[in-house]
Structure 1
């Protein structure tokens, strides 16, 4: 399983975030929750992820 793409985070990646001003990346649920608060960011659960990210 992949780990979160955010620097210093070792949690499993559960969500792909599409960021208009940067690279799309796979992140943990905690980072996904924070990132989707910004305008234009879209989140999609990764296939096979057990995380309840909503």
Structure 2
């Protein structure tokens, strides 16, 4: 798989707002970690809207 000249890649995951969302998905920076209630820890992490 080619990275097309990329030198630095950051770990992250896709955040999906669910079935009744407005269709937005976001990339969240950092490794996926789970909180005490089972959801992904997202507080304080940079997020980027995915436009595809």
Same structural fold, with TM-score higher than 0.5 when normalized by the shorter chain: no
> Higher helix share goes to which structure?
1
Could you say which TM-score interval applies, normalised by the shorter chain? under 0.3
Q: Which has the higher contact order (CA 8 A, sep 6+)?
A: 1
Max Rg structure: 2
Greater fraction strand: 2
TM value normalised by structure 2: 0.27
